Amino acid sequence: MKRDLSNYIIERAASGDAEAFREIYFALRSPIYGFAYRMLNDAAKAEDIAQEVFIFFIEHSGKFDPERGSLFAYLCGVARNLVFAHLKKKRNHSETWLEEASEIESNGNGGSPLGLVLHRELSTKIGEKVASLPPIQREVIILRELCDLTYQEIAAVAETDVNTVKARLFRARRSLARELTPYLTSSEEKYHALPRS
Amino acid sequence: MHCHEVENCLEAFLDTELPATESAAVRLHLPTCTSCRNNLKELEAIRLMLRDNLATEAPTSLDSNVMRAFDRYYSGSAGVTKTRSRGSLFAISLPAFALGLLLVIAASLLAFYVGKRSAMAEVAATQRFDQASTKNEIEKEITSAKIDENDEREGRPPSRTASAGIDPRSENLRKPPMNLREGSVTHERVKPTSPARIAAQNTPVTSRLDLEGFTPVAEPKLKITRKENQKNAK
């Protein structure tokens, strides 16, 4: 995924160039939406948040400073603030996750029907396990594994330091390993044989 | 590098966040240690699982909304309006729902209270009307009894004029009876003409017999009438 956007494109988008804006938008829309969706597990709310993030960029593109980090990390920070504001308002978000986890579709799966069923089941399980993490651990694991941010960028987005990010990541991974290892050991070969996007 | 040291930095090694010197030391250790290799393998598998399953495609409705917002902003409109997604559009916030429910309950209670009050007022008005009509009848009877008593005292035949609806204070009634008017000094009592009049003559004026058929609701009024009668007698 192409997320390294040049300053030239960002400047052009900020000055109203629709083509430049489209390039930025299509490079960042899925990870931004995915972050909001995985944090909230509410497709409608995630769409609202992603829309607000891009509208924020349209209206306040001058606020972005390329020297402080990438545009993607900057917009992840905006999305993170909106997500946590929503989580504060609605504390019982975990129930909706469990209700809607079965609707999660992974993209571009081609393969045998059994492979698809297994993949979907595993996907649901992983979604549930990630949802069961505390929000601060969930946040770092999503920013790391879904958004592919560096420790430094995660620290900037989560408004903390790199050591705290490492500690949160370590705890989140240990917790997920405990929960997901049975699926790995029993069907590691099967999992590796599954079709991937 | 020992196993416990490698274990602590395996994640950073996997995330390529480890400084070059430490990374080289881990690389040297891994071929010699099966346990650390297995740990790394497990971490890698979990990471792969997460990366494969957490990715989510954004809906196409988001594209049109954002592009429209961009066009509107740069076409000279004052601000960009946010289009709510379908799920949020129909969602009613909890406080708004609670407020609506409270308003409905309050309106129902008010309607019930007003209806109850008007019904009570109607009943009270009916009762007052009934009492008033009874009282009027009693007063009429008492007035007629008074007239009879006066007639009796003055030697006139008792006439139930009040009951008949004639004003007892009219000129004709104040005139003495014919036998007195013609200069007779004897105060002869005129014989009663009907059994009812005979009974009325022989019984006390304010006795309950006189009020037979009427409910003595206004008992205090009757007592006052007796006093008044005594005063008149004196």
> Cβ of A177 and B43 within 8 Å?
yes
Model confidence over A64-90: pLDDT tens digits? Answer: 888 888 889 999 999 999 999 888 887
Q: Which chain B positions have a beta carbon within 8 Å of A169's beta carbon?
A: 11, 15
CA distance B130 to B124: 10
Reading the block at residue B63, the tokens are 């594209």
pTM to 2 decimal places: 0.56
Q: Which chain A positions have a beta carbon within 8 Å of B50's beta carbon?
A: 126, 130, 141, 145-146, 176
Reading the block at residue A100, the tokens are 């809607």
Task: Name which of B131, B126, B152 is nearest B214 in CA terms.
Answer: B131
Which one-letter amino acid corresponds to residue A36?
Answer: A
User: Where is mean pLDDT largest: A101-115, B51-65, B187-201?
Assistant: B51-65
> Cβ of A47 and B59 within 8 Å?
yes
Model confidence over A11-40: pLDDT tens digits? Answer: 888 888 889 999 999 999 999 999 999 888
Three-state secondary-structure class, residue A133: coil
Burial of B15 (C-beta count, 10 Å sphere; 0-12/13-18/19+) = middle
Alpha helices in B55-170 (DSSP H): 60-74, 86-89, 94-153, 161-164
Task: Name which of B166, B145, B170 is nearest B229 in CA terms.
Answer: B145
Does B63 score more than 60 pLDDT? yes
> Cβ of B55 and A106 within 8 Å?
yes
| pLDDT for A81 | 92
| pLDDT for A51 | 92
Measured between CA atoms, how close is A123 to chain B, in angstroms?
5
Nearest to A48 among B12, B17, B88 (CB): B88
- Greater confidence, B84 or B39? B39
Q: Which chain A positions have a beta carbon within 8 Å of B62's beta carbon?
A: 29, 33, 47, 50-51
Rg (CA), chain B: 55
Mean pLDDT is lowest, of A65-69, A152-156, B123-127, B130-134, for B130-134
| pLDDT for B202 | 63
Does the complex come out with an ipTM higher than 0.95? Answer: no
Mean pLDDT is lowest, of A89-98, B29-38, B69-78, for A89-98
Mean pLDDT of B58-79: 82
Mean pLDDT of A160-182: 88
Size of the A and B interface in Cβ pairs below 8 Å:
139
| pLDDT for B228 | 64
